[in-house]
Amino acid sequence: MTEHQGLLSGGWDRVASNKRYIVWFYLLNLALAWLGTAAFKNQAHDFLDHSLLSGRLLHGFDIGVMVEMFLQPEFGQTHASSASGLHFALLFFVATALFLPGVLQGYASTYRLPREDFFRACGRNLWRFIRLMIVAGIVMGAVAGALFGIQSFLEKKAAESTNELLGFEVRVLSLVVIFLVMTALRIWFDLAETDIVLSDQRAVRRSIGTGFRHMWRNLGRLLGSYVVTTIVAAILLGAGLWIWMRFVPPASVVGAFLVSQLMLILLLIPRFWQRGVAVRYYLENMVEPVAVQPYTPAPVAVPVVNDPAPAPLLPDTPPETQGA
Amino acid sequence: MKLRWIIMFFPVLSVVVISVVVKEHAVKAASPQGALAAVAASVAGATPNVSGASVIPDTTLAINSTQPLSQRVVHYEIDAKYDSAKHTVDATEVLTYHNLTGQPLDHFPFHLYQNAFQPNATWIRETKVAGGRDVSYEKWEDKDYGSEEIKSLEVAGQGDLTSNVRYIQPDDGNKDDKTVVDVRVPKPIAPGQFVQFKIAFQTKFPETQARSGWKHDFVLGGQWFPKVGVFWHGAWNCHQYHATTEFFADFGVYDVKLTMPQFEVVGASGVKVGETNNADGTKTVAYHGDDIHDFAWTASPRYRVKEDGVFQGQMGPVQMRILMQPAHWSQVGRHEKILRESLEHFESWYGPYPYKTITLVDPESSEAGGMEYPTFITGDTSWFMPKGLYLPEIVIEHEFGHQYWYGMVATNEFEDAWMDEGINSYTEVKVLDSILGKKTSGINMLGATFGEREQQRLSYIGVADLDPIAQKAYDYYSFNSYGGITYGKTASVLLTLESIIGEDTMAKAMHTYFMKYRFTHPTKEDFLKTIEEVSGKDLKWYFAQAVYGSQVMDYKVLKVESFPVNWYVEKETGSHKDDKNTVYRSYVWLQRKGDFIMPVEVEIKFEGGEKIREHWDGVSRWTKFTYEKKAKLESAEIDPDHKIQIDRNDFNSSYTAKEHGRTALKLTNYWLVVTQWLGQALAWWAV
């Protein structure tokens, strides 16, 4: 790997050499969502399995029949099943926060990170991440609130115009600006997270400061990388939905499941790619060089047994252990 | 009594009739544009001088007929000036009223609709409590305010009666409601006599609400002038303006002059009969309408106009004038196409459209969209309207349908809103099904479909047990109940009626009803009686539940079951295998869950394909059918031809012996994808 490799390709290399993380996160995502939809599944089976009318939902997408189903008291309360789905989606978010330090550690490693090191990184950084997420939540919430407030104001102003399209144009333009600003904030806190994990930084505020400085100094380069990966995600989502609608027969449940799951696993990649970019950037620009004393072997008459050295944060050679 | 007046005014009538007939001949030979010029000239001659003898003119300038089509009770001559900065109209109105009630009249009620848009008016109160179409009135703003004030009122021969004008509240006694005034006349108007009111008034429009008012530089002038009530069934019928009611008025002739800035593009009811530019930068546009019962207009400097479309109707050419918002111009073809197709279907199925024009307005705001006035309707669209999303088509067809069910068959919208909105929703389903397809007449895009009849049914089943159809529009539990019952239930009830009397008979009944009652004010009894007469069936049992009652229909297949007749033999031998000679005893249990009783058909299907149709009168709460056959029962379905539209739950109307879980799995997969994606999106942004 060259030192000045591009951020995108450098980030991608890290994703490519650690594909197992995506697979594990996908399985976690699927398992949690599966549990989250159990209530809905039971409701649907109870209501539909003996009705001939349900055939109109199977062999097409009849919106009227779908709406009627949700309107029926016999179908049951949908807010219970939707709340359950939302709770499991939140659980996936928590799990991501929990396991992310291990992923960052793995991306920084030049070898397959041992399982115990993966979980050690997770455990060591848990409290730091919680603190960081609280700060990130406050900052991002405040900025998002302000930006959406401005957007609402601009839209109101646009509605005073006789140009009907102006409101839409203002909305699109403001959403683009909001997206860019929020992405910049995301970069900031991604760098802070990377710094916390890879520098073993206990003082979260220092990582936040370091993250902000680097985000600000290299905004164009970092933002470009993040925007490209987001566009990739949007293309994947669009293409996945198009293939689903265009090629999967309405009655093919297995086909729909496979295509939708393929789309969802692919959708995980861009975000991991962004993490790879952050790690690549960290290694390139943020890691502080460690002063290493030149090794001068002393003449030894009698062999001695040295104490084992502490495990380096960025080991150069892989130990012989099973990877996570 | 009427004859005496005709004799008295014979000389005047003769002059008018001769004048009109002569000019009509000229109009017939001319092109539509030429016709307008001829109309303009003829109106000047046909309109009586307000200071002269009172009479309702029998002009036919705006209709494709040489004879008046309605019993003309009113003649409105309005000279109005619109101030586009203040959104006000200052006008004088000369109303000639012909007393055809058969009794002397000593008072006259008038609607002042724009007074509804005041904080304590009944309209606002009801909207706040029961909901409304456009606004919720969370806070009151100056732009919401509307008013309609009579500055002076004079009765020809009786002097200035402004002091006799009193606000009345016949429906709810709300003293703050000023939407109806009553005028006492010192000298009662004898039967057959004419009376002429000269009214000076000012109307201030609110920002568009209830499909009237202004938005930016656009204005829709609906319900904007003092309009006399209808003397109906021995009394004045002049209700307050309610959140869930529309309008009711007598037929007559309208001559309206609108003065406004020259840059405005104007559209209105009736035919345009003149336009003159004034020295002060304004212009005066004159319109004339025959056999109509209301007059609306619109103006905006930004309208783009298409007016070269002509529909060749059964009674003559109909000019289609379409006023579009510039941003929607690419949809003008869609608008004209559905308007033309609606005209074709209504003429072919129900009867001729007699007017010379139909004006379709694409308004500035959706609050003004989807409204009907005689020969003048508003559509509803936006700049983004995919081809498979038929919102403009639905709205335009619906509003055009009102030219028949409201415009010509002028029912009382206050008391029987279902007779215009509901019957119109029924014909909307029929027409749109024919044009766009039964299951795709609402949405047909990206593999998703939605039919209009389904939409009507769904709007009903959510409020099925709240209100009956036959009740005053303002007595409904809520705005949703009003909409679901008046529109959705009526359409569903009439579609279900087709299963009882046959689709062709129903079509014939609708045609008969229109032809018999056009240009009159029929009652619900008139409508229901026509259906019974045409079908030759006593349908009172159905109407009692479906129209007058609030009974809810819900038929259910409770369960189906099959087992071998000699089940014990199989058990003894330990054989669980089916063979072709095994005889099965099968049962089907049906339940009437709701309180609506109606005979239904049931289709029982057996393995191997055999089908049996059964009839159940539905009187008892449940019933059972038993069979012995060499095949197991596969499924049972109530109403297998799907003719019943009023069953609250169609899912339980069928039952299959075997479970089939693919639909549930398909929907669960949708739910799963959404949940997974939501989790990923959260994780993307929040950590």
Task: Write out pLDDT tens, residues B135-185.
Answer: 778 889 999 999 999 999 999 999 999 999 999 999 999 999 999 999 999
Contacts of B442 in chain A (CB under 8 A): 63-64
> Does residue B433 sit at the A interface (CB-CB below 8 Å)?
no
Edge-to-edge strand list for the sheet holding B448-450? A61-62, B448-450, B443-445
**Cα A161–chain centre separation:** 40
pTM, two decimals, is 0.85
* Mutual angle of helices A19-36 and A7-16, in 10-degree steps: 70
pLDDT for the residue A294: 57
Helix (H, G, I), strand (E, B) or coil at B658: coil
Contacts of A60 in chain B (CB under 8 A): 447, 449
pLDDT for the residue B447: 83
Which residues lie closer than 8 Å to A142 by C-beta, 6 or more apart? none
Torsion-angle region of B238 (φ positive above 0: left; ψ -120 to 50: alpha; else: beta): beta
How far separated are the first and last CA of chain B, in Å rounded? 88
- The average confidence (pLDDT) of chain B is 91
> Does residue B439 sit at the A interface (CB-CB below 8 Å)?
yes
Does position B37 have pLDDT exceeding 50, yes or no?
A: no
Q: Which of B325, B650, B682 sits opposite A53 (nearest CB)?
A: B650
CB contact under 8 A, B672 and A34: yes
What ipTM did this prediction achieve?
0.87
Tokens of B510: 């609708």
**Backbone φ and ψ of B605, nearest 5°:** -115, 135
Contacts of B327 in chain A (CB under 8 A): 163-165
pLDDT for the residue B581: 82
> Which of the residue ranges B73-87, B280-294, B557-571, B640-654 would you say has the lowest mean pLDDT?
B557-571
**Backbone φ and ψ of A201, nearest 5°:** -85, 115
Tokens of B334: 């869609």
> Does residue A300 sit at the B interface (CB-CB below 8 Å)?
no
pLDDT for the residue A303: 52
Contact present, B288 and B62 (Cβ < 8 Å): yes
How does residue A299 score in pLDDT terms, banded at 50, 70 and 90? low
Contacts of A182 in chain B (CB under 8 A): 685
pLDDT for the residue B623: 97
How far separated are the first and last CA of chain A, in Å rounded? 23
pLDDT for the residue A5: 55
Question: How confident is the model over B364-382, as a mean pLDDT?
Answer: 93
Contact present, A93 and B687 (Cβ < 8 Å): yes
pLDDT for the residue B448: 87
Helix (H, G, I), strand (E, B) or coil at B1: coil
Count the Cβ atoms, other than its own, within 10 Å of residue A154: 16
Contact present, B449 and A60 (Cβ < 8 Å): yes
The C-alpha atoms of residue B228 and residue B248 are separated, in whole angstroms, by 10
Mind listing the pLDDT tens digit for each residue in B41-77? 444 444 443 334 578 999 999 999 999 999 999 999 9
The C-alpha atoms of residue A225 and residue A228 are separated, in whole angstroms, by 5
pLDDT for the residue A81: 77
- The DSSP 8-state label assigned to residue B464 in this structure reads T
Interface test with A, best of B389, B480, B653, B668 (most A CBs within 10 A): B668
Residue B228, H or E segment: strand B227-228
